[in-house]
Amino acid sequence: MKFPEGLSRKLSLREQEGMFRVLQTHEGLIDFFSNDYLGFASNPNLDPESAGEEISPFQWNGSTGSRLISGNSKAHEELESALAKFFRAESALLFNSGYDANIGLLSAVLQRQDAVFFDRLSHASIRDGISLSSASSYGFEHNDLGDLKKKISKARSRTGQNYVIVESVYSMDGDEAPLEQLAEYCRSENLYLIVDEAHSTGVMGQDGSGIITSLGLENEVFARIHTFGKALGCHGAAVLGSEFLKKYLINFARSFIYTTALPPREVLRISAALKQLKHSEQRDRLSLNINAFLSEIENLNLTSNFIPSRSPIQSFLLPDSSDPEEIKKVFQEHKMGAKVIFSPTVPKGQERIRICIHSFNTSSEIQRILQLLSTFV
């Protein structure tokens, strides 16, 4: 069967623009690119059988269906209770991924008469969730509270609700949203604040409970999204909020209703990761590595080349004259796994190497990658 010409043209254009995606394996590379911040993905203590957990033979390999049919279990409900307690929320609802959580939440909550204001560096799942709704949407400049206020003064809904959506830690730059100022503004203007905590989960806040809890803003936020595929090394996500929100999503979030539930084995693995967080040395090691990385940046006079960040995500801005293929080649030769990101994925002049720091990276590895980066300046 002939492939449609229009789709072939789109694929060719993507290749010409330098945005063509291919799948690759990464064996043998020093890991400065994965989201496995605490090394939990390879932690044998998270295996349910190793932890002495029992799994019903009825659901040994899979959950058998949607949670509204046959896929709900005691393990799901116990984990949701534990998540609500850990993240200091009234309730938690499990989703199969962070992407599913965002599109389920936003497409269900945002109504035709509503207006939603989102940071322009928001993740694709946030944008997609908004696009699946009927609400009017407006992007504001990254972390710019002044621009947000201007947008809201011009475009806020007079007949519906108004929502503001941000990430606590942004996935590309590693910087943080001004959450205290945002919460204060949203409270004064009667706006509903939604915060995606994907990259702060397990890493920031008390026991890794995120930035919102560390700031004591739990009651100022309409909904929080915490994911388990990054620092927790598992799969899945949860939406945290009121009991009313949970009931609403069970009835209206299509990515929750019309999908097979997470299997109990994975649910028990998330539970084990949550318990591990409370007694984890890895968080301390990660913090030490981030501090060592930032200190070495200063020693090598590279501070001006990095976007300021205290998170595991560190972005090194490349000079305009950089050759992408040459940089990729150098990284391959040195067995360094880090993501090189060029225009048009990011605006011209903001090309960068995105580095993720982990608890398991050694001092030697940190020094090696920074010394390598210094050769590009």
Q: What is the pLDDT along the chain (377 residues), one digit of tens a residue?
A: 999 999 999 999 988 877 788 898 888 899 999 999 999 999 888 877 655 566 566 556 789 999 999 999 999 999 999 999 999 999 999 999 999 999 999 999 999 999 999 999 999 999 999 999 999 999 999 999 999 999 999 999 999 999 999 999 999 999 999 999 999 999 999 999 999 999 999 999 999 999 999 999 999 999 999 999 999 999 999 999 999 999 999 999 999 999 999 998 899 999 999 999 988 899 999 999 999 999 999 999 999 999 999 999 999 998 876 777 788 889 989 999 998 887 767 777 788 899 999 999 999 999 999 999 999 88
Domain membership of residue 309 as a residue range: 16-38+281-374
Measure the CA angle with vertex 344, ends 341 and 347; round to 5°: 85
d(CA 27, CA 33): 13
195, two tokens:
């915060």
Residues 138 and 182 grouped into a single domain: yes
Residues 299 and 170 grouped into a single domain: no
Q: How many CB atoms lie within 10 A of CB 121?
A: 19
**Residue that has been written with the tokens 């890493």 in this structure:** 203
Burial 59-79 (b: 16+ CB within 10 A, else e): beeebeeebeeebebebbeeb
d(CA 246, CA 74): 17
Instruction: State the pTM of this model.
Output: 0.95
d(CA 267, CA 270): 5
Cα 121 to chain centroid distance, Å, stands at 12
Residues 330 and 370 grouped into a single domain: yes
Residues 117 and 244 grouped into a single domain: yes
Q: Is 7 within the bounds of a domain?
A: no
139, two tokens:
């992007």
179-188 vs 145-155: helix crossing angle, rounded to 10 = 20
> Do the bridges between strand 162-167 and strand 115-119 make them parallel or antiparallel, or are there none, so unpaired?
parallel
